[in-house]
Amino acid sequence: MPARGPDFARVVPRNGYAWWYVDALSDDGQSGITLIAFIGSVFSPYYAFARRRGPADPLNHCALNVVLYRPGGKSWAMTERPRGAVSRSADHLQIGPSRLDWDGRALTIHFDEVTMPFPGRLRGTVRVVPSALNAQAFELNASGRHVWWPIAPRARVQVELEGPQLRWQGDGYFDMNHGDAPLESGFSDWQWARGALQDGTAILYEARRHDGSHTNLAMHFADDGRMQPFTPPDGVALKQTGWRVARSLRSESEPRLLRTLEDAPFYARSAVAGQLRGEPVVMMHESLSLDRFRMPLVQAMLPFRMPRARK
């Protein structure tokens, strides 16, 4: 893939998906944010229902997920929208009232979304300035049906919000995943983590496939974009979430759970302290159980957090 930008115009086949993911932690460690733009929202109960009736159009199931983490709480927004509310080009993606723009050097995300389950506003701008772009993507299964592309393993992120009034900056990350089949058809679960080191960024990606095989990636990206694989340390179990989602982290020292940022029936996002390449590191960490996601009870709960707009 060319190291030129996110390619929002890429073809997404029926039943497939593409998402662009940004996360950042503030320099003072008090705040964080994640933003995920979905074409073919992989966690959408509406998309799952459409696929059961036949090959489904991913552009009819798009969303921008914005989650703001602050001391004492968080704000969550994720409204699914049909293809009539979506426009895109190689460097631009509009989903309803929110948009992502790539100018060749930075990604700017303008959003104006309604929070759930208690209605409110999440409105503001996030600017992501990569230290370098990475051109290499990684196939997560043997057939190549699921691909991960760490576009900017390290970035400087500026957050300016109007609703709520908030401004901060910190180290961040920008990647993309895409596939031509539902995510839950390929994987049972995964653990992912990234953390900023003094000389770059370390990323761990461990996925268990339905056939029992594993993906286990450990990479160091220098600030100029050069990549070097390294041998991942042993995995250490972390405390299960309130929903009993299993969490683990590969670390050279005993990892320490700093904060559970997101605790949902099938996934968790956490801030975890550990050690990689001989250096202490605070990592953004994600645990995902796709076997749990497939359960009918979980599917029935999702519309309360993921409403769908008519247009």
pLDDT at 4: 67
Are 14 and 56 in contact by the 8 Å Cβ rule? The answer is: yes
Mean pLDDT of all residues in 228-246: 96
Contacting residues for 279 by C-beta, under 8 A, at least 6 apart: 197, 198
Contacting residues for 252 by C-beta, under 8 A, at least 6 apart: 233, 274, 275, 276, 277, 278
Express each pLDDT in 72-106 by its tens digit. Answer: 889 999 999 999 999 999 999 999 999 999 999 99
pLDDT at 269: 97
pLDDT at 143: 84
**pLDDT tops 50 at residue 110:** yes
Mean pLDDT of all residues in 115-128: 95
Express each pLDDT in 34-71 by its tens digit. Answer: 999 999 999 999 999 999 999 999 999 999 999 999 98
Express each pLDDT in 288-304 by its tens digit. Answer: 999 999 999 999 999 98
Instruction: Select from 241, 234, 269 the least CA-distant residue to 255.
Output: 234
| Burial track 239-278 (b if 16+ CB lie within 10 A, e otherwise) | eebeeebebbbbbbeebeeeebbbebbbbbbbbbbbebbe
* Domains of the chain with CATH codes: 17-304 (2.40.370.10)
**pLDDT tops 50 at residue 132:** yes
Other CB atoms within a 10 A radius of the CB of residue 134 amount to 21
Q: pTM higher than 0.85, yes or no?
A: yes
Backbone φ, ψ for residue 236 (5° rounding):
-125, 130
**Which structure tokens are listed for 228?**
């070097």
Other CB atoms within a 10 A radius of the CB of residue 129 amount to 16
**Which structure tokens are listed for 66?**
């914005």
Torsion 50-56-59-64 (CA) sign? positive
**Which structure tokens are listed for 91?**
């460097």
Look up tokens 């592309």; give the residue: 149
Say how far apart CA 32 and CA 28 lie, in whole Å.
Answer: 10
3-class SS shares of the chain: helix, strand, coil, % to 5: 10, 55, 35
Express each pLDDT in 191-220 by its tens digit. Answer: 999 999 999 999 999 999 998 899 999 999
**pLDDT tops 80 at residue 3:** no
Q: What is the CA radius of gyration of the chain?
A: 18
Say how far apart CA 113 and CA 71 lie, in whole Å.
Answer: 21
pLDDT at 5: 81
Say how far apart CA 97 and CA 64 lie, in whole Å.
Answer: 10
User: CA 118, 64, 196: angle at the middle one, nearest 5?
Assistant: 100
Mean pLDDT across the chain, nearest whole number? Answer: 95
pLDDT at 1: 42
Give, for 39, the enclosing helix (H) or strand (E): strand 32-39
pLDDT at 311: 84
**Which structure tokens are listed for 97?**
């009232």
